[in-house]
A and B are shown apart, each in its own frame.
Chain A
Amino acid sequence: MHAMSNGKIYAAIRGAGHYAPERVLTNDDLAKVVETNDEWIRTRTGISQRRIARPDEYTSDMATAAARMALADAGVAPDEVDLIVVATCTPDMIFPATACLVQNALGCTHAYGFDLSSACSGFLMALETATGAIESGRVRTALVIGAEKLSSITDWTKRETCVLFGDGAGAVVVQASERPGILSSQMGVDGALADMLSLPASGCRHPASEQTLADRLHYVHMSGGKTFKSAVRVMADTAVQVVRDAGLTFDDIDLMVPHQANLRIIEAVAARLEGDLLPKCFVNLDRFGNTSGASIPLALSEAQTLGRIKPHDKVLMVAFGGGLSWGGIVVEWKP
């Protein structure tokens, strides 16, 4: 890796892509499965519908489709990719990593890769990791993907959670750059609050057994109210910090892309930030629900497709999820 003119290698986003499965599950469809209704779901969450992957369609397939679109957008060939990071809490298998399946499907013959597990903040942690690898000079081109088949870990008998989630994928291509693209970042975790949001079984603590099945431990468990409060506080605080660290004000931000968990969370975060930020928030959770690790890259790519993100825009991303874990990143898009 050659040094740039001032000796510093920067990282920048050069392309974005997304994929959403074809099948649409509406609130009315859900009302046939659990005791709920369209009005409750829309007013409490802002979600109208979500996409559900086919039974034979997996996280790696969605990740591959999103990555293909991102590579085309960046004009990068698969064999130029050095690193693939897949942020997911629904990998195809515990191992091999989903990243290996994506590597093979795309023909990224020179890449290494791994999965990153940090629930809904996984994509930002993956972007942070790829940025570090690029700025160190060890990697030139990275594919950073968020992909989830949450329908496989959703308890379809629990109305408190099953209305929230959906399937999908998003990806960005990050490359070494002479101009800074990743302007600031801030990540955090608090394992004292690990129980607030979890999938208790499938790991070594509760290997699959008749008991774990009976206790429904292979599904997402969540305390909704507590999660709401923590999400709002930590996303608002992180947003303030990364905008300041980037040497910017909220006025300079062209688009805010928050984790798409719940419109009411996004509204409460925006209300706690300076200026009228809500109109600058990109929202697509009405059509996709919460897709966890896929949520931010799916939103980024869709925003670009819709003309809401243009080269040189300052984009603020904030996320929050199980761990607890959170992160914020400010980028200059395609600098």
Chain B
Amino acid sequence: MALEDKVVDIIVDKLGVTRDQVKPEASLIEDLGADSIDTVDLVMTFEEEFGESIPDEDSQKLKTVGDIIAYLKSKGKE
């Protein structure tokens, strides 16, 4: 499965939103209704699924779906 699809699947599952809401420019908090704890849980799930530990300094910058995909790609994930 492509990285994009995997990320979208995780967000759909964790936040209970529909696939078409999870656009690259969608903000986790403003558009997808995540609260601060959802964002912590999401980061943990990305760490577990992609085998990459994401330090707090980095996770604080991951605001949109596109931010997450770009970040994981920059770590060589696909």
Specify the main secondary structure of chain B where it touches its partner: helix
- Which residues of B from 22 to 68 have beta carbons under 8 Å from A? 35-37, 40-41, 44, 48, 56
- Which residues of A from 14 to 62 have beta carbons under 8 Å from B? 43-44
Write out the residue numbers on chain A whose beta carbons fall within 8 Å of the beta carbon of B36. 44, 225
Question: Given A232-B44, A268-B41, are A225 and B35 neighbors across the interface (CB < 8 Å)?
Answer: no
Question: Given A43-B35, A225-B56, A226-B56, are A233 and B40 neighbors across the interface (CB < 8 Å)?
Answer: no
Write out the residue numbers on chain B whose beta carbons fall within 8 Å of the beta carbon of A272. 48
Question: Given A225-B56, A226-B56, are A44 and B35 neighbors across the interface (CB < 8 Å)?
Answer: yes
Write out the residue numbers on chain B whose beta carbons fall within 8 Å of the beta carbon of A232. 41, 44
Number of interface residues of A (CB under 8 A): 11
**What separation, in Å, do the CA atoms of A232 and B40 have in the docked complex?**
11
In the complex, whether A112 has a CB less than 8 A from a CB of chain B is no
**What separation, in Å, do the CA atoms of A1 and B44 have in the docked complex?**
49
Please name the residue on chain A nearest to B14 by beta carbon: A271
Asked if A268 contacts B44 (CB within 8 A), the reply is: yes
Asked if B37 contacts A229 (CB within 8 A), the reply is: no
Q: Determine how close the nearest CB of chain B comes to the CB of A23; give it in whole angstroms.
A: 29
Can you give 20 contacting A-B residue pairs, CB < 8 Å?
Answer: A43-B35, A44-B35, A44-B36, A44-B37, A225-B36, A225-B40, A225-B56, A226-B56, A228-B37, A228-B40, A229-B40, A229-B44, A232-B41, A232-B44, A233-B44, A264-B37, A264-B41, A268-B41, A268-B44, A272-B48
- B residues neighboring A (CB under 8 Å): 35-37, 40-41, 44, 48, 56
